Amino acid sequence: MQFMLLFSRQGKLRLQKWFSAYPDRVKKKTTRELITLVLQRKPKMCSFLEWKDLKIVYKRYASLYFCCAIENDDNELLTLEVIHRYVELLDKYFGSVCELDIIFNFEKAYFMLDEFLLGGEVQESSKKNVLKAIAAQDLLQEEETPQGFFEDHGLG
Amino acid sequence: MNVLKAVSMPAPKRLRDLIREIRSSRTAADERAVVNKECASIRESFRDQDNTYRCRNVAKLLYIHMLGYPAHFGQLECMKLIASPRFTDKRIGYLGAMLLLDERQDVHLLITNSLKNDLGHQTQYIQSLALCTLGAICSAEMSRDLAGEVERMIKSSNAYIKKKAILCAFGIIRKVPDLMEMYIPATRSLLNEKNHGVLLTAVCLITEMSEKSPDTLHHFRKLVPQLVRILKNLIMAGYSPEHDVSGVSDPFLQVKILRLLRILGRGDAEASETMNDILAQVATNTDTSKNVGHAILYEIVLTIMGIQSEAGLRVLAVNILGRFLLNNDKNIRYVALNTLLRVVSADYNAVQRHRTTIVDCLKDPDISIRRRAVELSFALINPNNVRGMMKELLYFLETCDPEFKSDCCSNIVIAAAKYSPNKRWHIDTVLKVLTTAGNYIKGDVVTVAIQLVSETSQLHAYSVQQLYRLLSNDISQQPLAQVAAWCIGEYGELLHSATVEEEEPLQVSNDEVISLLERILANNNSSVVTKEYAITALMKLSSRFSDCSARLRQVIAQYGSSTNVELQQRSVEYSNLFVKFDNMRSALLEHMPLIEAHPHSLEENFLDGQEEVNLLADSTSSQSNGHGGNLINQPSENGDILNILSANTSPAAAPANNKSGGGAADLLDLLGDLTTDAPPVINNSVLPPAQNLLDGFLQPTPPQSNLVNGSSSLSPMAVFNKNNLLVEFTCQRANNDPTRTVIDMKATNSSVFPMLDFVFQAAVPKSFQLSLQSPSGTTIPPVNGGHITQVIQLNNPQKQPIRMRLKISYSQNGNMVNEMAEVNTFPSELWQ
């Protein structure tokens, strides 16, 4: 996988993960272009788009679009499963996730993605293991923040 | 005011409050104001070296960055967070590094050092953060610096670290393939692991290694039995909630293994044999009620078709795709089309069976599906189905998006040429393309169409009448107009003749035909090239419709004042053909010789003739545009001829362009060169006999005038002296540079009549570059009462002896005079 974007139906970027080095300018342009392209497509259409030499696989969950760019010989259908797995993970973690959860806890959404994918490949096929790792790290974070102090010293 | 107060207060705004505030701003300007204010306070806090809130500030910055605002001033702060002992700091620091870091060298070094430290940390989650960041950034230097650490961690007994290290190795090899060697030993034992994360990542790594190096591929072939066993265990194992996805056992791992098997089994009978059974099992046992089952079947089809699998298995695979094609899910249909295209060469007949379904997909509203379907449709055309397929594709061409049209036209024309059942059908198809896709057609289709019509002599009458009909319906489509104009010009007299039986004969008068071409010429929407075709067609018609000669002459003459140089030139030259060479006109305008598929002899003839044009083309193309008026040759046009001839692609274009290209002057050139074995010309011109004849008087070559021996580069040398016209060159090096020569041309007229419309052209061999500046005038006064000068700049990068051909034209007493000469007496000091 080359990159993954999350954006809203209004075209607002909610998360971006780049697995290869792109200049900032290219990232911005790509994001803009893909958001427009994907939002233009009708609901009945297939989830794949051929874009430059990449294949865009996207899926809409409520108000959010999950959009992955894969290489031509990657499995498009499995990429849909990757997206779905990520949504399931977020859902388990936040407890029926919605767009607002991802907006206000964007860093947690990133942490989750980093436990699921690494360098653009799936690193863990067990949901349980991913959630366990995240829980353990959240605990670490909580432990080092003095009690009652969190509100002021954590991310808040 | 509240905001201001908050900023100045010691504890900075919390992330959640900032997000809330940004979300509540009503306009983009509001949002920008909030962000700018916050960025200012974050910067200030960074400047104060505040440690307590650095983490919170960087987190806010990351949110601001996602909104598209610049946030790179936070890079160094991320480094500081990473260096902090606190886990929270590190977590946000590494996240920031992954999001904000660009390829800047200095920061890179810093982060590489931090990564090195944290990879050796005793807390696995800190190691994990470092591995994750390494996997995300993974620049070449970083890969080299940390490759050893990663290798050590692959051997870790902790599966959590192991899987991440394996994917880091995967990224490192992808970036720096030389580092592959060091990972091979550690990789071997990875498939013995039970942990799915480790297996999954290990298969990824082995796949990457095998794709990168054939030796490694060979080495890993012995893993096939082990991979087969893992796959077997996966599908045999009962329900395992941890790894199941809607009843399919770990699809992520299955797909990765299937892909690796494809790579290991490709071109290897033994490995392929080992996997046959398991592939059959997976293909038949996978539950396809959900997308995930299709994902696995999709992968298995690719593997079956990619290795040397049994015939029965291949049939199974194509049948799976056939089922995919009928699926209601658009995604699965898309995948089927995509895969059928990949396997069409392996199993043509099996794919052919699904033709009707595929053709139906041409009408799908989804562009992704249409794109796949149209490619596949072209791949499926054969002599048996060409009529039906073409009908569908022509219909598709009519309705498809503009982005498809141009390629689709070219593909239809190619397929029609390959599989046409008969000539009539072939011509009809090409004409249909011309009328359907109009201006989206690429130039190659025009030449192919002309070639086709011209070589099908038995259908000349039919073709020209059809084209006339089509053109009179619609003159706005340029490619159609070009083909039609060429054919009407060429076969105009056949417009009245009887054609194929069932067609009604065309009832059209010569005047109507001329009016149609006239309309194309006058139409503002016609391209210049189309107008060029049209004017040449009119000229040709002057010998086909002898009764209309006067009208044609008048029409053609109108364009003598065209603002387009090429059109004006053609008009003037054609008009001259009426006046001065009327006796030769019909001979010059004869039918083009029938073009055969491989007209070698013809082509060679033309190639011989081209040499001259070649030189001139070079010279004219480098001329400045200020030249104005009567250029003898138009660069692009000649360039085309040469390209076409040398590339040997489309012989049809050569004569077509030739006739239309240079007009009379060009024809004279060609005749001149074809009829003489032009002996090497020494100093003054030797006229080709043909031209002399045309000039109407034979003149002996004048005695050679003073040969300049190259004594002084500054003294003028006479390069042309005939009919009282003297052309002298004064040569010198530019800036004393042997590769650059500046020549001052001076032309004087010692006759008693002025020379009008004087045009001087020069051409040099390909190794030189020449540019002619604008001449001082176009009229040379009589009795040496004045002169024309023109500066020639010559670039001679290879320092070769300078040779030059000249072409001079002028009119005197109402007679056009065309002269040529070769100059090879330039003093050697110029380039030595």
DSSP string, B493-506: GGGGS--STTSPPP
Highest mean pLDDT of the ranges B48-52, B400-404, B426-430: B426-430
Q: Given an 8 Å threshold on Cβ–Cβ distance, is B164 in contact with A118?
A: yes
Q: Determine which of A78, A128, A129 to mutate to test the interface with B (most B C-beta atoms within 10 Å).
A: A78
Give the best residue of B24, B167, B296 to mutate against chain A (max A CB count within 10 A). Answer: B167
Question: What pLDDT, on the 0 to 100 scale, is given for residue B499?
Answer: 63
User: pLDDT grade, residue B682 (50/70/90)?
Assistant: very low
Per-residue pLDDT for B582 more than 50? yes
Beta strands B737-749 and B756-763 are unpaired
Q: Which of residues 71-100 of A touch B (CB under 8 A)?
A: 75-78, 80-82, 85
Written as one string, the DSSP assignment of B146-201 is HHHHHHHHHT-S-HHHHHHHHHHHHHHHHH-GGGGGGGHHHHHGGGG---HHHHHH
User: Between these two residues, B818 and B146, which has the higher pLDDT value?
Assistant: B146
pLDDT of residue B105: 66
B523's tokens: 């139409």
Averaged pLDDT, B490-519:
81
The fraction of chain B above a pLDDT of 90, given in percent, is 36
Kindly tell me if the per-residue pLDDT of B225 is higher than 70. yes
SS3 string, B322-333, reads HHHHHCCCHHHH
| A81 contacts B295? CB cut-off 8 A | yes
| A19:B11 CB<8 A | no
Distance CA B523, CA B275 (A): 68
| Total CB pairs under 8 A between chain A and B | 174
Best B9, B16, B252 member to test A by mutation, with max A CBs in 10 Å, is B252
Q: Higher confidence at residue B118 or residue B786?
A: B118
Q: Give contacts of B253 with chain A, Cβ < 8 Å.
A: 125
CB contact under 8 A, B196 and A125: yes
Cα–Cα nearest to B245, from B304, B296, B317: B296
Kindly indicate the confidence band of residue B27, based on its pLDDT and cuts at 50, 70 and 90: very high
Q: Is A13 on the interface with B (CB under 8 A)?
A: yes
Q: Please tell me what DSSP assigns to residue B802.
A: P
Residue B503 has what pLDDT? 67
Q: Do the beta carbons of residue B358 and residue B379 sit within 8 Å?
A: no
In whole angstroms, give the CA distance from residue B112 to residue B675: 77
pLDDT score of B624: 38
Average pLDDT value over all residues in chain A: 91
CB B827 within 8 A of CB B711: yes
**pLDDT tens-place string over residues B766-797:** 888 888 888 888 888 887 778 888 888 888 88
Contacts of B617 (CB under 8 A, 6+ apart): B633, B635, B638, B639, B642, B763
Between B668 and A19, the higher pLDDT residue: A19
In sequence order, what are the residues at sequence separation of 6 or more whose Cβ sits closer than 8 angstroms to the Cβ of residue A96? none
- Those residues whose C-beta lies under 8 Å from the C-beta of residue B817, and which sit 6 or more positions away, are B695, B723, B808, B809, B810, B811
Q: How confident is the model at residue B10 (pLDDT cuts 50, 70, 90)?
A: low
Write the CB contacts of B355 (distance below 8 Å, at least 6 apart in sequence): B380, B385, B389
Q: Where are the beta strands (DSSP E) in chain A?
A: 3-8, 13-18, 48-51, 54-61, 64-70, 117-118, 121-122
Average pLDDT over chain B reads 81
Instruction: Give the whole-angstrom CA distance, residue A128 versus residue B590.
Output: 85
HEC-encoded secondary structure of B67-103: CCCCCHHHHHHHHHHHHCCCHHHHHHHHHHHHHHCCC
The backbone region for B716, taken as left when phi is positive above 0, alpha when psi lies in -120 to 50, beta otherwise, is beta
Question: Is residue B477's pLDDT more than 80?
Answer: yes
- pLDDT category at B280 given cuts 50, 70, 90 is very high
The model's confidence at residue B104, banded by pLDDT at 50, 70 and 90, is low
Which range among A105-119, B254-268, B699-713 shows the weakest confidence by mean pLDDT?
A: B699-713
Around B394, how many Cα atoms within 13 Å sit in the side-chain half-sphere? 19
Residues B444-468 have a mean pLDDT of: 87
Measure Cα distances from B375 to B318, B321, B381, B384 in Å: 18, 17, 11, 19
Higher-scoring residue by pLDDT: B826, B424:
B424
Structure tokens at A20: 């290869």
| B1 Cα to chain A: minimum distance (Å) | 23
Burial of B492 (0-12, 13-18, 19+ CB in 10 A): buried
Q: Is the pLDDT of residue B612 over 60?
A: no
Task: Give the model's confidence band at B663: pLDDT under 50 very low, under 70 low, under 90 confident, else very high.
Answer: very low
Of the listed ranges B136-140, B480-484, B729-733, the least confidently predicted one is B729-733
Token representation of residue B345: 């060469």
Nearest partner of A129 among B241, B826, B227, B436, judged by Cα: B241
Residue of B86, B82, B84 lying closest to B100 (CA atoms): B82
Q: What confidence score (pLDDT) does residue A139 get?
A: 93
Per-residue pLDDT for B255 more than 60?
A: yes
pLDDT confidence of residue B145? 94
Is B647 or B553 the better-scoring residue by pLDDT?
B553
What residues of chain A lie within 8 A of the CB of B62, using their CB? 106-107
pLDDT of residue B114: 93
The runs of H, that is alpha helices, within B307-437 are 311-326, 330-343, 348-352, 355-360, 367-380, 386-399, 402-419, 423-437
Residue B51's CB is within 10 A of a number of other CB atoms, namely 12
Q: How far is A64 from chain B (nearest CA, A)?
A: 16
Calpha distance B592→B164 (Å, rounded): 73
A16/B365 touch (CB, cutoff 8 Å), yes or no: no
DSSP secondary structure, B725-766, as one string:
EEEEEEEEEETTEEEEEEEEEEEEE-SSSPBEEEEEEEE--T
Q: Which residue has the higher pLDDT, B689 or A46?
A: A46
Is the pLDDT at B618 greater than 70? The verdict is: no
Verify whether the Cβ–Cβ distance A75 to B295 is below 8 Å: yes
Output the pLDDT for position B737. 77
Residue A97 Cα, gap to closest chain B Cα (Å): 17
Nearest Cα neighbor of B541 from B582, B489, B472 is: B489
CA angle B222, B225, B231 (to 5 degrees): 130
pLDDT band at B210 (very low <50, low <70, confident <90, very high): very high
Closest-CA residue to B198 (of B186, B209, B211, B182): B186
CB pair distance less than 8 Å for A78 and B242? no
Q: Give the residue from chain B lying closest to A149, CA to CA.
A: B52
The tens digit of pLDDT for each residue in B514-547 reads: 999 999 998 888 888 999 999 999 999 888 888 8
With both helix axes pointing from N to C terminus, report the angle between B600-622 and B663-675 in degrees, rounded to the nearest 10. 120
pLDDT of B602 above 80:
no
Q: How is residue B525 annotated by DSSP?
A: T
- B558 or A69, which is more confident: A69
If we measure between CA atoms, which residue out of B823, B829, B826, B801 comes closest to residue B736?
A: B829
DSSP class of B662: T
Contact A78 B369 (CB under 8 A): no
Picking from B129, B161, B201, B244 by the largest number of A CB atoms within 10 A of its own CB, the best residue to mutate is: B201
Over residues B248-267, the mean pLDDT reads 94
Percentage above 90 pLDDT, chain A: 79
**Does residue B600 carry a pLDDT above 60?**
no
Looking at residue B596, what DSSP letter applies? P
Pick B63's closest partner by Cβ from A75, A106, A124. A106
CA distances from B138 to A19, A22, A118, B79, B109 (A): 9, 12, 11, 16, 12
Q: In the predicted model, what is the mean pLDDT of residues B595-614?
A: 39
Residue recorded with tokens 């060029």:
B532
Task: Report whether B738 contacts B711 (CB < 8 A).
Answer: no
Check CB contact under 8 Å for B245 and A144: no
Q: Is the pLDDT of residue B688 over 70?
A: no
Q: Residue B807 belongs to what H/E stretch?
A: strand B804-812
Average pLDDT (B128-139) is 93
Closest chain A residue by Cα to residue B104: A23
Rounded Cα gap, residues B168 and B153, in angstroms? 10
Q: Given a cut of 80, is residue B637 above it in pLDDT? A: no
